[in-house]
């Protein structure tokens, strides 16, 4: 394992500013708002802020506050943050992001999770925290061969935790990190103490009897799932079918990359008019800058291609997972892209020990509502002991 510090060359930042200044802007249909995508005037203003006011060096310094490493697993350099708790009995915890996330999602929660004593918490709920960049994402760099699907990433994470000397640990995931965490828990149940997720997808199996006991709220959530899988999943269909074609545009145009990710932060968060209602502008741009500065828009999209047969569509739900052999905690944030239905989850996940319904937050809870995120993982720590 090699120590690692983020140090983006000055010329890369100058190139970004030049490209933003020379953007060739499209027209738009007046009055469309967000219905056809990111509004032109909003994106122009956001791009200008990125060019003239956003401070990557400050974000870089904040990322570098945490110990980072690179280790080669299965032929790929894996980047990860590793922050050990000062509490000797802390439980190891691996946090897996998805798309369009990054390790920057977790910057606000690492210290409260590792050092609850200093953040108003119970020191018995402390975690040692490991935050890897998915292969092909950010500082884990592009993958160079096919086959890096969810199962392969899960095996890499199992190997990573073993190399770190963690015999028993907890796995958390959001977005694609949910699939990764559930998969590694099934593969490595003798070492995984429990799995904690937000954005659990619970499609119906197709058996009409399964729907008989659902209530009005449950059917509303089925409607959310259908809307997400149908009208809101254009990004997913492109990345799952033509990731290389998409890569040329997003790798060459920072405004293209900006729009591609900003749309999701507006659509999937607890925001009203703009994404900054849910996350700060600088948080949003740090996440997007990681994709741009590492040129991983295309390589991150490849993961969707690798798992295309597992993704939901308007007509076909994803395959049902086998029963999970470890304890499961589920956090539900009301403004997520889709919300799970407990009556459909329990037969598939018989070991649910914690199910929390929050009244605020969305798809990126560690950024949007870090206090709630930390609170839920601390209580899950206790639930595992019961």
- State the pLDDT at residue 314: 43
Give the total residue count for the chain: 386
Q: Where are the beta strands (DSSP E) in the chain?
A: 2-3, 68-73, 76-83, 91-96, 127-132, 169-174, 192-198, 327-332, 352-357
**Within a 10 A sphere around the Cβ of 385, how many other Cβ atoms?**
9
Beta bridge partners of 76: 73
Pairing outcome for strands 169-174 and 327-332 = unpaired
User: What is the spatial distance between Cα 122 and Cα 138, in angstroms, rounded to a whole number?
Assistant: 33
Q: What is the pLDDT along the chain (386 residues), one digit of tens a residue?
A: 999 999 999 999 999 999 999 999 999 999 999 999 999 999 999 999 999 999 999 999 999 999 999 999 999 999 999 999 999 999 999 999 999 999 999 999 999 999 999 999 999 999 999 999 999 999 997 888 999 999 999 999 999 999 999 999 999 999 999 999 999 999 999 999 999 999 999 988 878 888 888 999 999 999 998 888 888 889 999 999 999 999 999 999 999 999 999 999 999 999 989 999 999 999 999 999 999 999 999 999 999 999 988 776 544 545 555 678 899 999 999 999 999 999 999 988 999 999 999 999 999 999 999 999 999 999 999 999 98
DSSP 337: S
Give Cα 29 distance to the centre of its chain. Answer: 32
The 10 Å CB-count burial string (b at 16+, else e) for 17-48 is eebbeebeeeeeeeeeeeeebbbbebbeebbe
DSSP 82: E
For residue 70, whether the previous peptide bond is cis, meaning omega lies within 30 degrees of 0, is no
User: What is the spatial distance between Cα 153 and Cα 155, in angstroms, rounded to a whole number?
Assistant: 5
Token pair recorded at residue 64: 């570098």
Residue 36 and residue 28 in contact, taking contact as beta carbons nearer than 8 Å? yes
Query: What predicted TM-score, i.e. pTM, was given to this entire model?
Result: 0.96
- State the pLDDT at residue 233: 87
Residue 266 and residue 38 in contact, taking contact as beta carbons nearer than 8 Å? yes
Closest CA to 250 of 259, 242, 241: 259
Sign of CA dihedral 378, 380, 384, 385: positive
Closest CA to 130 of 74, 175, 71: 71
Quote helix, strand, coil % in the chain, to nearest 5.
Answer: 50, 15, 40
Active site residues: 175, 304, 363
- What is each CA distance from 179 to 49, 117, 263, in whole angstroms? 35, 32, 23
User: What is the spatial distance between Cα 336 and Cα 334, in angstroms, rounded to a whole number?
Assistant: 6
Could you report the per-residue pLDDT of 279-324, keeping only the tens digit for each? 999 999 999 999 999 999 999 999 999 998 877 654 454 555 567 8
Token pair recorded at residue 367: 């950024």
Q: Where are the beta strands (DSSP E) in 61-149?
A: 68-73, 76-83, 91-96, 127-132
Closest CA to 117 of 89, 77, 87: 87
DSSP 235: H
């Amino acid at each position: 394992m090699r120590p690692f510090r983020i140090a983006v060359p000055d010329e890369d930042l100058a190139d970004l500013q030049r490209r933003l200044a020379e953007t060739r802007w499209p027209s738009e249909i007046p009055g469309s708002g967000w219905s056809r995508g990111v509004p032109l005037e909003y994106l122009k203003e956001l791009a200008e802020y990125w060019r003239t006011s956003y401070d990557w060096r400050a974000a870089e310094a904040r990322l570098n506050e945490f110990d980072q490493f690179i280790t080669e697993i299965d032929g790929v350099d894996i980047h990860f943050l590793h922050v050990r708790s000062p509490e000797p009995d802390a439980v190891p915890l691996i946090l897996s992001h998805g798309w369009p996330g990054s390790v920057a999602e977790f910057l606000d929660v690492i210290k409260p999770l590792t050092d609850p004593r200093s953040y108003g918490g119970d020191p018995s709920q402390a975690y040692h925290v490991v935050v890897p960049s998915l292969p092909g994402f950010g500082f884990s760099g592009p993958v160079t061969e096919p086959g890096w699907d969810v199962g392969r990433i899960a095996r890499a994470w199992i190997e990573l935790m073993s190399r770190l000397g963690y015999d028993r640990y907890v796995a958390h995931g959001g977005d694609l990190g949910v699939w990764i965490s559930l998969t590694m828990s099934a593969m490595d149940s003798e070492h995984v103490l429990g799995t904690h997720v937000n954005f659990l997808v619970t499609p119906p199996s197709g058996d009409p009897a399964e729907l008989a006991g659902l209530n009005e709220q449950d059917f509303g959530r089925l409607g959310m799932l259908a809307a997400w899988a149908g009208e809101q999943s254009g990004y997913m269909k492109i990345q799952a079918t033509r990731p290389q074609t998409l890569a040329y545009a997003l790798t060459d145009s920072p405004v293209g990359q900006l729009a591609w990710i900003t749309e999701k932060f507006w659509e999937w968060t607890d925001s009203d008019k703009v994404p900054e209602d849910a996350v700060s502008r600088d948080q949003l741009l740090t996440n997007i800058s990681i994709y741009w500065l590492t040129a991983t828009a295309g390589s991150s999209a490849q993961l969707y291609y690798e798992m295309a047969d597992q993704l939901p569509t308007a007509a076909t739900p994803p395959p049902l997972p086998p029963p999970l052999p470890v304890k499961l905690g589920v956090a539900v944030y009301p403004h997520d892209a889709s919300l799970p239905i407990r009556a459909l989850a329990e037969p598939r996940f018989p070991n649910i020990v914690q199910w929390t319904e929050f009244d605020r937050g969305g798809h990126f809870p560690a950024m949007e509502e870090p206090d709630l995120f930390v609170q839920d993982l601390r209580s899950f720590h206790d639930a595992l002991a019961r």
